[in-house]
Amino acid sequence: MDIRIGLGYDLHRFGPGRGLRLGGVEIPFPLGLAGHSDADCLIHAVMDALLGAAGEGDIGRLFPDTDPAYKDARSTALLASVMERLKKAGLEVIHVDSVIVTEKPAVAPHVPAMKRVLCPLLGVAPDRLGIKGKTNEGVGAIGRGEAIACWATALLRKKG
């Protein structure tokens, strides 16, 4: 079996003036995340894990933040285009795991909704997508509530 593994990481600062979108889900919170696209930190980490496993570079190269086409872009649409690339390369997702590191808001209540958005896009059953919330125990910029960071791993299989 031809198996590939990828690792993705992303961080976005909190900022005013937009909603908080994580894992394709709008989360009620006073602050959103600053960024060129919709700043969905979890989907960005997942895409980099997928692209790393596929040997297809990273989202900075595919969707440059200097390109007006990606201003406020929905990360779910970017993920769909990454999945299209994987399909063309004959790759399918076996499993994705991820961690959202943030002091607030609590992640766990939103995991089922995130899975409902992400599993169909990734082409996996709900038990093949892990989404876990962790705090940073008050340490550093994340601990002070200035940013959210996400980590993701992806396991892919080459078909045929």
Give the residues lining the site for Mg ion (CB under 5 A): 10, 44
For the chain, the DSSP string reads --EEEEEEEEEEEEESSS-EEETTEEE--S-EE-SSS---HHHHHHHHHHHHHHT---HHHHS-TT-GGGTT--HHHHHHHHHHHHHHTTEEEEEEEEEEE-SSS-SGGGHHHHHHHHHHHHT--GGGEEEEEE--TT-HHHHTTSEEEEEEEEEEEE--
Provide the minimum distance between the beta carbon of 12 and Mg ion in the complex, in angstroms, as a whole number.
6
- Measured from the CB atom, the residue of 39 and 122 that comes closer to Mg ion is 39
Provide the minimum distance between the beta carbon of 65 and Mg ion in the complex, in angstroms, as a whole number.
8
- Measured from the CB atom, the residue of 71 and 159 that comes closer to Mg ion is 71
Provide the minimum distance between the beta carbon of 103 and Mg ion in the complex, in angstroms, as a whole number.
19
Provide the minimum distance between the beta carbon of 127 and Mg ion in the complex, in angstroms, as a whole number.
27
- Measured from the CB atom, the residue of 4 and 44 that comes closer to Mg ion is 44
- Measured from the CB atom, the residue of 10 and 103 that comes closer to Mg ion is 10
Name the residue with the smallest CB distance to Mg ion. 44
